Structure 1
Amino acid sequence: MTKQRRSFTPEFKREAAGLVLDQSYSYIEAARSLGLVESALRRWVKQLQEERQGVTPKSKALTPEQQKIQEL
């Protein structure tokens, strides 16, 4: 039996990363409370930090501003 891969919306990823960046959760606390693996949360936090600095991501954007830039 193979485990089905879960997918998350950009909004969920942004909120999850926000727990670490804005609400001072540790990576472990946030990941456990949301049922995530820590490595995924670390990627999302890194991406959100970069987007907040104005870097357009190669993957699907998390912030509404970067999403709009990608659409254009």
Structure 2
Amino acid sequence: MSSKSGSGRRYTAEFKRDAVELVLSTGRTPTEVARELGVSAEGLRGWVKQAKIDRGQGPTGALTSDEREELRRIRRELAEVRKANEILVKAAAFFAKEIVK
């Protein structure tokens, strides 16, 4: 299992999946598995929680990883649209002034 990808303590999806499987299949605690793998116990608990949500075992209304990614994408797109709209409003105001002159 390759742990880190980059210097910011980011782990590959494969590493996370394997770590979660260790917790779920062995019945060991996230703290035990995290210590063995050299990762944060709190981080591993989060990965396990998200994996359960993705499998339909989470609380009602919890967002799956796919839903979270879609939400991030839509928020980025909305920010771009708002920025473009702001530019268009300023351009319209500029050209309106030019026409009046």
Interval containing the TM-score (normalised by the shorter chain): 0.5 to 0.7
CA offsets, 1:24-56, max 9 Å, x none?
111111000000111100110001111111863
Q: Which has the higher helix share?
A: 2
Look up the match of 1:67. none
Q: Is the 8 A contact 2:31 2:41 kept in 1?
A: yes
Q: Report the TM-score when normalising by structure 2.
A: 0.50
Q: Report the TM-score when normalising by structure 1.
A: 0.67
Residue 50 (structure 1) aligned with residue 58 (structure 2): no
Identity over the aligned pairs, expressed in percent?
A: 41
Please provide the CA RMSD for this pair. 1.8
Larger CA deviation: 49-58 vs 39-48: 49-58
Q: Structure 2 counterpart of 1:38, which letter?
A: A
**Structure 2 regions of 5+ residues with no counterpart?**
1-6, 58-62, 70-101
Secondary structure of the residue aligned to 1:22 is helix
Q: How does 1:1-72 map to 2 (within 5 A)?
A: 4-53=7-56, 56-57=64-65, 58-59=68-69
Q: Which has the higher contact order (CA 8 A, sep 6+)?
A: 1
Distance 2:64 2:34 in 1: 25
Distance 1:38 1:56 in 2: 21
Give the greater-gyration-radius structure (CA): 2
State the Cα distance separating 1:22 from its structure 2 match: 1.4
Between the two proteins, the alignment pairs up a number of residues equal to 56
